[in-house]
Structure 1
Amino acid sequence: MNEDLISKKELLDVTGISYGQLYRWKRKNLIPEQWFIRKSSYTGQETFFPRDKILQRIDRILNMKDDLSLDALADVFSPGLADIRLTAGEILERNMVTSSALNLYIEVADPAAQSLLFEFDKLLSMYVLDQWLQSGDISLEEGRLLIEMLNEHLPRIAGMDGGIILIRKKGVSTFILVANDPQIYVDPGAKIAAHLSLAQCTEALKLLINGSEV
């Protein structure tokens, strides 16, 4: 199934931003180069964008640009923070995740990790876990499965616009980590129980790391 696209003209009309703003944000890496899709149309070559992704990104930029510089926003929207290292105590002090999510992560990932420093990919795993635990979308046992899956596979899609999907069928839960968040189809006996965007989780986590409210 092809991704729903929006033309540049429609995007500018819908969002109220200018041509100059759009390309300034592109130069500042607030909007990824790969989202500018050149396609043939009846008027010739035209630029299109993945509709949901670009509308969500512009909405977030407009909501945050008064509080953060464009350079700070570029850091928020970049794939990761390679040099971030936080202790368990610092994670709780910054209210990045709840203590229940942190303790469950440590229990499953490394029981001796209380004194260790957690890198960004581990923080992201904790954040995803915490989001689903707080929403009630997953049980503690499913949380353990999620941690094992993320620890093994999340580094492989670093920097990609991926997603995490929880599928349930006949009482059996399966987590799927996808790169670039494609359309997923399941058989009629299965149900997509929950879905999270890694890009959105990454952005929210960076704001917490930088001391800003999401």
Structure 2
Amino acid sequence: MERELISKRDLLEQMGISYGQLYRWKRKQLIPEEWFIRKSTFTGQETFFPKDMILARIDRIMNMKEDLSLDELAGKLSPYQTDLSLSKRELMDRNIVSEISINRHSAPAQLNGQETYSFELLLYFFATDQLLSAGEISLIESDLLMETLRNHFPSYEGKPCELLFMRKMGVSMFALAAVPSALHFDAGVKIVARLQLAELAEQLRSKLN
């Protein structure tokens, strides 16, 4: 299903904000760079945004900006900076992650004696479950994905990154890459799925709140 977009002009009009405000918030990293989507239209190049996410983000900024500086806001709005957590039972009862996925990948957390899952671990489950539910990966491939996320996602230290799932000659591969970045592959590589983890984190936060 294609994501619904909103044009910059319609966004400014609907939210009652100025061009200057929008780009100041961008410079302060209150709005992620990757949300500014350039598309060709009959009038030339225009900027669009993922509608649901940008409207929710600007609403939060407007509600919080009177009490916090823009730098403080940036910390509050970082998709990865949260103390939200959930137990395995709550995760399953609220249908945030499928039972098959959570049962397969919950063992490491239980072995570490964790009574609840941290937001970071919930994000790993959520990303994996998205691809499993869409039929993009197998259960065995989901094990490799979870291992990739556990081993490498923490090194990004909250910076935007994307997850790529690729296949070449029947061999599955996962990669994490900083955003924005230009990636080039040889002709034999097929990109099966490409997920923006910051966007997934925003979706997960909305489900947990």
TM-score by length of structure 1 reads: 0.70
Q: 1:175-194 alignment to 2 at 5 Å?
A: 175-194=174-193
Are positions 1:207 and 2:202 aligned together? no
Could you say if the C-alpha distance between residues 49 and 79 of structure 1 is closer, same or farther in structure 2, counting changes exceeding 3 Å?
closer
Give me the whole-angstrom Cα distance separating, in 1, the residues matched to 2:12 and 2:35.
18
SS of the residue 1:96 aligns to: coil
Cα deviation code 1:33-88 (max 9, x no counterpart)? 2589xxxxxxxxxxx99732873356523367779973499888423243223211
User: Out of 55, 78, 96, which is 1:62 matched to?
Assistant: 55
Give me the whole-angstrom Cα distance separating, in 2, the residues matched to 1:69 and 1:35.
11
Are positions 1:90 and 2:90 aligned together? yes
Where structure 1 has 5 or more consecutive residues not aligned to the other structure, the ranges are: 1-10, 37-47
Give me the whole-angstrom Cα distance separating, in 1, the residues matched to 2:16 and 2:79.
25
SS of the residue 1:193 aligns to: strand
Cα deviation code 1:180-214 (max 9, x no counterpart)? 2423221011111111111110100000110xxxx
- Paired residues in the alignment total 186
> For residue 150 of structure 1, what is the aligned residue in structure 2?
149
Give me the whole-angstrom Cα distance separating, in 2, the residues matched to 1:204 and 1:174.
25
Identity across matched positions, percent:
29
- 1:87 touches 1:114 (CA, 8 Å); kept in 2? no
Cα deviation code 1:117-175 (max 9, x no counterpart)? 21111010000001000001111111000000101111111321210001100111110
TM-superposed deviation, 1:178? 1.0
Give me the whole-angstrom Cα distance separating, in 1, the residues matched to 2:30 and 2:83.
27
TM-superposed deviation, 1:105? 1.4
Give me the whole-angstrom Cα distance separating, in 2, the residues matched to 1:95 and 1:68.
29
- 1:76 touches 1:207 (CA, 8 Å); kept in 2? no
- How large is the Cα RMSD of the aligned pairs? 3.6
> For residue 20 of structure 1, what is the aligned residue in structure 2?
17
Q: 1:43-122 alignment to 2 at 5 Å?
A: 51-52=36-37, 55-57=48-50, 60-62=53-55, 70-71=63-64, 77-107=77-107, 109-110=108-109, 112=111, 116-122=115-121
Moved more, 74-83 or 155-164: 74-83
TM-score by length of structure 2 reads: 0.71
1:116 corresponds to which letter in structure 2?
E
- 2:80 touches 2:198 (CA, 8 Å); kept in 1? no
- 1:167 touches 1:192 (CA, 8 Å); kept in 2? yes
2:54 corresponds to which letter in structure 1?
I
